[in-house]
Every structure is written in C-alpha cells, then in structure tokens.
Chain A
C-alpha cells in the first residue's frame, strides 16, 4: 500500500470517481499553482470500491468550489490546517458557470462571436441540467463525468 504523507495546510479532495482526478486537476488549473500536489489514483474505498484523491498544499481560497461542484458535487472537500481537518465543505451545484465548458451547438452565437464567454446556467437542479445562456443547449455534467 502506497503512503502519501499528511499536508499541513491546504485541502484534500476525497471520493473522486476513480480515474477522474486528472480531469479535476486540469479544470481547477492546479498546473498553474506553485504548490505541492499529490494525485492518488485507484485508492481503496469502502464507499466506492475505488476512488481518486487529490491533496493540494495551498490556500483554500485558491480553489474554485463552483467548478468542482459542477464537475462532481459528490466530492468531499476537506480543509486542512496545522495538519488537521478543520472543515468539510458541502458542494452544491453552482447557479452559473463561466468558461468551464464550451457550447457545442454549431448554431449558437458562441460558435462565431469571438471572445464571448461560454456561460451555462442551472436550468433544473433536480435533474442536474445546465443550459447555454445564449442558445439553451442542454448539458448534463453527470453524463460527461460519469
């Protein structure tokens, strides 16, 4: 069994679907942060059988929880201070996301208007359906990330 040491200050993203940690790494733009990141893939889990874990040693404010919630709101966010878990953050689906995903509708104005932000709004929280602000194209993050 592989052991990765404790972090002093930062956050641990637990219960990531196995194999999805690198997607989350990309979307949180962790490559742009100058800090220690541990990516643990296929860790054993009682709840999920297999899971991924990300450990990031940085200020919690640097984490975009909206993006994380959009990708998978079942992820557990543990906030670490002085080597201890001081908070577990609940993730809720953001009402709106900006430039996280792109609208793929070729008839949408975003396909031709340069530098237009790609904005999706939460159209149905129960069914986890987002729609493009401009053309209402449907997007279901759960379908993409499952």
Chain B
C-alpha cells in the first residue's frame, strides 16, 4: 500500500517540477533597451521592426525601447548611477561606449555568446561579422561590444565630375594632388571641407599618420608622456601635407568660413568634387543632390615611403552593449543575434542607407564603395586612431585645437610640432 503512495507522491513532485520548468521557460521577461536613435529616425524604425518580429517569435519576451537620441550614454550613466533604472542593453557609437560604459566596467563579455550559431547561417555568429569589427574594441581578449552599423571614413566624390575632367581615382598622395590641379583647371573646388570642425579636420591627420606610420602610431603618440613622438619627421610631413592642401587650392580658401554643413553642401551643389568624411555623407546630402548624382568612394591614398596600406580602414561603428548586471543576458543576446540576421541587417542598409557589419549583406548601392572598402579591410581603427575612446580629454583639449589651428593656417607646421610635443608632455604631467 505504501509503495503506490510513494510512487504517486514522487510522480506528483516530478510533474510539479516539470510544470515549473515549463512555467519558468515561459516566464515573462521584459528587456529594457535604451537607444541612441530618435524614435522617427530610419534606424529606429528598423529596430522597431526587429523588436516587433522578435517579440512575435518569443511571446514571453517584451522589449521596452527608450529612444533617447545621441545623449543616450550620458542618460544611461545617470540612470545606472542613481540605481533607479534597470537597463539591459543600450546602443551608441562604439568609440563612445569604449571610452564610457565599457571602460567603467558595465559591459558584459560576449565571447561565449558569439560562439552560438548564427541566426541564418551554418557558421558561428562571430564568423558572420565583417573582418576586424568585433575585435576593434576588445579588451584583453574579451569582446564587449556588438557592432551592427558600419561607417567608413574615406573620400566621397562626384563620379560625374571626375568623368567630365578625365580624372582617375587617386592611388597615391601625388595622384591626389594631380587630380586637384585638374579639377582646379576645370573650374571646380577639388575638396569640400568644413573650416571649423575639429572632428572632420582630424580625419586628415588620422589618415595621413595611418598611411605614413601605420595604424596605432597616432594613439601611441597621444599617450607618449614625453611628447617627443610628435617630433617624428612623419608628423612634420603630415602637417606640411595638410597645409599643401590649402596652399595648392585643393581646399578652396573660402572653406575657412564654412561651418558644418556648409562645406559639404558645396559637393551637393556640384561646385566641389570630393570630401574626406564618413559613409553617412551620401545619406545626409540625399535631399540636396539631384537624382542623377553618382556617388563614388575611395580610400585615403597611399603615401610614398609610408608603412600603412589603403586596406587599413578608418571605421566608425555603432554597437550594442549588454549591461553586465542584467538579469536576462540570454534573452538580451538572443535579441542581438536576431538584429544580426540577414533580414534585419538588409533592412538597415535598404531603409536607412547605412553600412552594416553582417558580411553576407550587400550594402545599399549609394554606398557600394564603402562596402568594398569594408570587405577588403586588413585592419580597422576607430575615431582618430582610437584616441577618441582612449584619451578623449586629450583629444578635445590638445589634439583638436592644435590641429584646427594648423588646418586654418593659424600656425606653421613647425610651430604645430612644438605645440604638440610641449602640450602633450604638459598634459600627461598633470594627468598622470
């Protein structure tokens, strides 16, 4: 009599346990996602689609999105500091996350998760990413960011003007100067630029030093407490090349009075031929260019005697980060895995005209040349050769103002070298 009773009790316990298991699997989960997009932006709309699809496929998961705009990380900081909010995942420029939440230890390492199968491919998820994107901000072998949008910095040019004057895409610095002369002779302003925009001006310094000394050298110079690396002949050469662009008329003199976006609109109006800027430019100028405008893109040219290559790519990524304290890391990553699916990544490039990190996706034709650049990358570096994420205060208070002075012709290349060497040493003496 006892045995059946015991069996019945055991069965009831097992059924209850199994039942709990089912209940546990179906337990409602709310993922709180704070985003860098404004609700009506194209990228936000794609994410809204991704969220809706993901929720439909996972009825127990609700993704609660908060559209904060570009101040997202600062708002996340405030929320996490006050302990008043649960935030499971967020997105922002990868450079900014690296210098902010990631440096402060808020990011969950994703290495194990990235070994899961890709959403719609045979290989593991990590293999789906374009080369060097996942590793760009890895720290001691740990990957903390999940990049999903890919911007390249390169020259964007008007193919019709190049064809009209018979100019070929420049492969070397000397080619670039020759193309400038041809364009000037034909009555065009060769290079569109902003006069007073430190971030855009510093694209030149970054690319020149990447080509001359290789990626990573600029960030070492920024961190050199003696400041002496700035006296390297390559820096003087880069400074002289910067001034050559202005002195030769490649950058027209009135550029000095352009404040963003005045410079780039000269490209849309057909008076200028090219601009060194991110692959967001064709999208930004979309409403101003005529329908026949033909965009082309080429990498910053090689420099004679330099050790860098045109396949070293200046990449500005946008990425997700999962909060290390989230109660739902598996669900949060499941959502990211879906964002990386071909379907959603294709939507990003089709609807918002941006580059994406999934290697199987054909980018929107308007930025096809950026896609080729990204696919061929042998190495990537972030904003100002990662100085933006590693030494952001130095960038803002030393590197930017001094380079803008050189850019605007307020100081000579020689004076620029002295300023950088002296002020870098002073900076690190007071920021040790």
The answer to whether A binds B is: no
| A interface residue numbers (CB < 8 A to B) | none
